[in-house]
């Protein structure tokens, strides 16, 4: 019984040893958790909208994910290009360039949650699709998507095209993440054929990622394409010493990405090729940023048998032994060498070695043992403590983020007005045009108010705004239509978008959703029951009471019915 129990614990220990996560895997999980530290969002079904949402994470992580603590750089870039017109969005371009110059595609290998998910899917035991020349050609598809769906079309159509039609992170995090919460059950009524397409695409990417390593990263991800441009210049990553390289090809064969050589634009700098290089030609670049240059040089110049035995017959003999060992190891790596000559040299060394090795004066036994100077010992100890300090600091940052987002950063306590309640009084700033200046609830003068909430990045919002203008023109004597833009955008930025869409001469009123209510500073969108989904339409009757609240796009016929109902009450 004791033997069986002992064997059980031994097998359990061996299993954990074999399956323990690598440092890279731990960093990947850490980065995913840090980027989605707002765990309470998955419980409440609400998107965090605090100050850190104006910053970008390095990897692909959807802004609309309930747990997201920051924005996605790819989504921010598309929104900036879609709403800026001819103005260059220097802020977001600078952020992406900074990430790229420091890390390059190391972000893909270590910090991207989407990359982590694909790697875990690939671990499922199934037949795998190996990389080949065809897959190498298809890797350029992501560069086509970058130019077309991230840059050109967003500028032309003022729409974040890649996020809208392709991005699986948005479908999984923002779509399914919100829909899976029972409190967002009314969102299902807003779904259309577009969500069906994106959901089918997400399922396809998930399935293909099981059979093909990092399918999305290799063929579809524009963010990886952007970071690939910086791989050659990035401060951190892997590098190849061409003087040591013997062109054995083991690094390329071992890599699951479609690289032609170590560190090219397809390399995600995972570092797995370092251990398979027979000549240690591959190493981490950027080490001198964190360690003193002398420490690196000393570590690279660690004493060897040749450097210690410099004189006499013993030195010559040791050199022959090292040469034979090196030749044998390289021969094992398929480097052509005459095996007969190696055996002959080995035999000669074997005959000569006993005569020399037993001589105590020559110090061969002492030199043959692993030699480690005090300086090297000191460097290794320092590096160990630096690693411990780095992990401790990372743990503190993660704990602080989890505590802050889930306990300290409380959502603003806003009173929500429902159908039948009096509409809150407000005075708002309006944009330039026919009705520039200010607008107040007192300006309605007994008319029905239609409050539409839109955003420059919201395609359904932009599609329905002409219909709201048509309603205003058809019922100008009885209705006032006010289009509120999402809070958080600069006045000039929204004004430029209005002008570029040709809405400057519209009869409806464009205003900024920055109303100050009696309950505290809060946007009208939240006060009227908005749930992080645009557009939203609120109809207020002649008596100033909320008649209806509709989230999502509304047709002209339904809008007209709501208005006529409010007029007849």
- For the domain bounded by 427-568, which CATH number is listed? 3.40.30.10
pLDDT digits (tens, 9 = 90+) for 113-169: 999 999 999 999 999 999 999 999 999 999 999 999 999 998 887 778 899 899 999
Our CA angle for 390, 395, 398, nearest 5°, is 125
- pTM comes to 0.74
pLDDT digits (tens, 9 = 90+) for 325-341: 443 443 334 334 344 44
CATH 3.30.70.20 in the chain is located at 239-285
- Average pLDDT (512-541) is 74
Token code pair at residue 376: 């090297």
Token code pair at residue 299: 């570590």
**Structure letter (DSSP) for residue 248:** -
Tell me how far apart the alpha carbons of residues 149 and 142 are, in angstroms, rounded to a whole number. Answer: 10
Tell me how far apart the alpha carbons of residues 214 and 122 are, in angstroms, rounded to a whole number. Answer: 8
CATH 3.40.30.10 in the chain is located at 427-568
Who wins on pLDDT, 134 or 523?
Answer: 134
Assess whether pLDDT exceeds 80 at residue 489: no
pLDDT digits (tens, 9 = 90+) for 274-321: 999 999 999 999 765 544 444 444 444 444 333 333 334 333 433 344
Fold of 239-285: Alpha-Beta Plaits (3.30.70)
CA neighbor of 112 nearest in space, from 173, 161, 66, 158: 173
Contact between 153 and 190 (Cβ < 8 Å):
no
In the chain, % helix, strand, coil (3-state, to 5) comes to 55, 10, 35
pLDDT digits (tens, 9 = 90+) for 368-383: 445 557 888 888 888 8
Tell me how far apart the alpha carbons of residues 475 and 556 are, in angstroms, rounded to a whole number. Answer: 13
Output b/e per residue, 270-294; b: 16+ Cβ within 10 A: bbbbeeebbbebbbebbeeeeeeee
Tell me how far apart the alpha carbons of residues 75 and 150 are, in angstroms, rounded to a whole number. Answer: 9
């Amino acid at each position: 019984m004791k033997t069986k129990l002992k064997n059980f614990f031994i097998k359990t220990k061996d299993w954990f040893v074999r399956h323990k996560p690598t440092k890279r895997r731990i960093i990947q999980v850490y980065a995913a958790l840090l980027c989605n530290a707002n765990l309470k969002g998955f419980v409440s079904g609400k998107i965090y909208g605090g100050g850190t949402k104006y910053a970008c994470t390095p990897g692909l992580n959807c802004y609309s994910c309930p747990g997201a603590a920051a924005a996605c750089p790819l989504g921010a870039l598309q929104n900036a290009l879609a709403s800026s017109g001819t103005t260059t969005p220097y802020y977001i371009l600078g952020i992406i360039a900074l990430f790229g110059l420091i890390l390059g595609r190391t972000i893909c290998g270590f910090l991207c949650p989407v990359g982590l998910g694909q790697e875990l899917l690939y671990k499922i035991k199934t037949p795998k699709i190996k990389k080949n020349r065809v897959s190498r050609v298809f890797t350029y598809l992501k560069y086509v998507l970058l130019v077309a769906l991230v840059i050109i079309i967003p500028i032309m159509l003022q729409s974040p095209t890649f996020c809208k039609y392709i991005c699986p992170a948005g479908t999984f995090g923002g779509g399914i993440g919100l829909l899976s919460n029972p409190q967002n059950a009314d969102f299902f009524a807003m779904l259309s054929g577009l969500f069906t397409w994106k959901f089918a695409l997400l399922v396809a990417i998930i399935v293909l990622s099981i059979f093909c390593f990092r399918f999305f990263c290799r063929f579809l991800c524009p963010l990886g394409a952007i970071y690939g441009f910086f791989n050659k210049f990035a401060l951190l990553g892997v590098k190849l010493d061409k003087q040591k390289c013997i062109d054995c090809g083991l690094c390329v064969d071992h890599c699951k990405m479609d690289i032609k050589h170590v560190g090219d634009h397809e390399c995600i700098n995972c570092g797995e090729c370092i251990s398979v290089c027979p000549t240690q030609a591959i190493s981490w670049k950027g080490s001198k940023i964190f360690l003193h240059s002398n420490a690196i040089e000393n570590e690279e110049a660690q004493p060897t048998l040749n450097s210690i035995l410099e004189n006499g017959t013993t030195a010559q003999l040791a050199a022959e032994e090292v040469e034979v060992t090196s030749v044998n190891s390289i021969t094992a790596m398929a480097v052509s060498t005459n095996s007969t000559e190696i055996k002959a040299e080995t035999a000669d060394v074997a005959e000569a070695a006993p005569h020399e090795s037993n001589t105590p004066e020559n110090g061969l036994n002492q030199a043959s043992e692993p030699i480690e100077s005090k300086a090297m010992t000191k460097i290794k100890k320092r590096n160990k403590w630096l690693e411990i300090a780095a992990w401790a600091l990372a743990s503190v940052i993660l704990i602080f983020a989890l505590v802050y987002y889930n306990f300290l950063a409380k959502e603003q306590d806003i009173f929500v007005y429902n159908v039948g309640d009096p509409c809150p009084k407000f005075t708002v700033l309006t944009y330039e045009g026919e009705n520039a200046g200010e607008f107040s609830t007192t300006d309605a003068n007994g008319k029905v108010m239609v409050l539409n909430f839109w955003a420059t990045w919201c395609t359904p919002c932009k599609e329905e705004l002409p219909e709201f203008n048509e309603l205003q023109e058809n019922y100008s004597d009885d209705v006032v239509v006010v289009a509120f833009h999402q809070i958080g955008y600069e006045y000039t930025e929204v004004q430029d978008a209005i002008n570029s869409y040709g809405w400057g001469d519209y009869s409806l009123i464009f205003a900024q959703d920055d109303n100050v209510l009696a309950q505290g500073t809060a946007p009208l969108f939240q006060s009227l029951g908005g749930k992080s989904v645009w557009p939203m339409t609120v109809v207020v009757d002649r008596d100033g009471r909320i008649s209806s609240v509709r989230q999502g796009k509304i047709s002209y016929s339904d809008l007209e019915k709501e208005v006529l109902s409010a007029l007849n009450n």
